[in-house]
Amino acid sequence: MMIRDSIQELQNRMGKSIIGQRKVIDSLVLGLLANGNLLLEGLPGLAKTRAVKSMANNLAAGLSRIQFTPDLLPSDITGTEMYHSSGGKDLLEFQPGPIFSNIILADEINRAPAKVQAALLEAMEEKQVTVAGKTHKMEPLFMVLATQNPIEQEGTYPLPEAQMDRFLMHVRVDYSSDEEELEIIRLVRGELTGAKQTATEAVSQDVVFAARKEITTIHSSENIEHYIVSLISATRYPEKYDENLARWIEVGASPRGSLALDKCSRAHAWLAGRDHVTPDDVRSVLHECLRHRLILSYEANAEEMSVNQVLDEIIKLVAVA
């Protein structure tokens, strides 16, 4: 089976257990191919955790779920050094925490204090953690998928901008349609009654690494590069593009926004079977790559302008070179 066929098979398998969330499935796979970390935000019960578990179950990869709570300690995530006796000698040995796995599900990440959230920073950015002065490398396939609930903000610790910026994409999980809701009821009912499912072989990690290698060869023309830069520039210097845009945006996207658009647009083109990036590839991933990197002004909030609406305006205003 071709590498792209294997990845598309992974998408299809996930789609069978996650009804009505095709955009979420595609974003998870894009994040996997682009070797990035994702933040999933949505109301309770919209299959955020189920989507992550589905991807892990269909990959030959380990899944580690960390339920973030206010009493969690950094060592509960990274691990700690513990004393043990061997041969009459007291030894200090590192006991790895749950972060030492392939796919890390950081559930309700905004419910843990800043020290615990910060414990993820080095792992997400450097693919390593440091405990007691010693550095421990993460697995070659390592991906943090964090979830958070947009309501019930009492007693939570909102992620600082510096940590939000380290997520490659911010994925919104919305309600399904009525028809999809009916399919969900029937799917879960079948699972509860023990409906027999066909056993399938998990997609190998080698397939993911091979796909990433192919994606690096996808051509992004100079016009596309200038288009990406112009989109980012519109968030930083909105007054050059539109008066209303200047009133709505307080802080624009960082260079990580440009890198995210480049990585994800090339992965999107590869999934579509093209060897080059088109403007549609860039526009398809724009919202997920930038919505958590913009800070809107008081005027935008007063006018009830959402980040998505502001990004829609940027797409209209910025032309392809």
The answer on 282 and 166 residing in a single domain is no
Task: Provide the 8-state DSSP code for 97.
Answer: -
Rounded Cα–Cα distance for residues 197 and 244 (Å): 53
pLDDT of residue 199: 63
- pLDDT (tens digit, 9 = 90+) per residue, 84-142? 777 677 777 888 899 999 999 999 888 888 888 888 877 888 888 888 778 888 999 99
Nearest to 10 by CA among 203, 209, 142: 203
How many helices (H) and strands (E) would you count in the chain? 14, 11
Residue 132's Cβ-count burial label (10 Å; 0-12, 13-18, 19+) is: exposed
- State the residue range of the domain holding 279: 220-317
Segment 147-194, tens digit of pLDDT: 988 876 666 788 888 888 999 999 999 988 888 889 889 888 888 887
Q: Tokens representing 1?
A: 């089976």
Listed in sequence order, the residues at least 6 apart from 69 whose beta carbon sits closer than 8 Å to its beta carbon are 108, 111, 112
167 and 284 fall within a common domain: no
Does residue 201 form part of some domain?
no
Verify that 157 and 294 share a domain, yes or no.
no
Residue 169 lies inside a defined structural domain of this protein: yes
Whole-number pLDDT of residue 154? 67
Inside any domain, residue 312: yes
- Indicate whether 174 and 259 sit together in one domain: no
Question: How does pLDDT run across 209-223, given as a tens digit for each residue?
Answer: 999 999 999 999 999
297 domain residue, yes or no? yes
Same structural domain for residues 115 and 226?
A: no
Residues 148 and 245 in one domain: no
Q: Are residues 67 and 137 in the same domain?
A: yes
Q: What is the pLDDT of residue 153?
A: 67
- Number of Cβ atoms within 10 Å of the Cβ of 161: 12
pLDDT single digits (tens) 276-290: 999 999 999 999 999
Is residue 282 within 8 A of residue 231, CB to CB? The reply is yes
pLDDT computed for residue 151 by the predictor: 77
Question: pLDDT tens digit string along 5-46?
Answer: 999 999 999 998 888 889 999 999 999 999 999 999 988 888
Query: What long-range pairs does 128-136 form, CB within 8 A, spacing at least 24?
Result: 129/78, 129/79, 129/99, 131/75, 131/78, 131/79, 131/80, 131/81, 131/94, 132/80, 132/81, 132/94, 134/94, 136/79, 136/94, 136/96, 136/100
Residues 238 and 308 occupy one common structural domain: yes
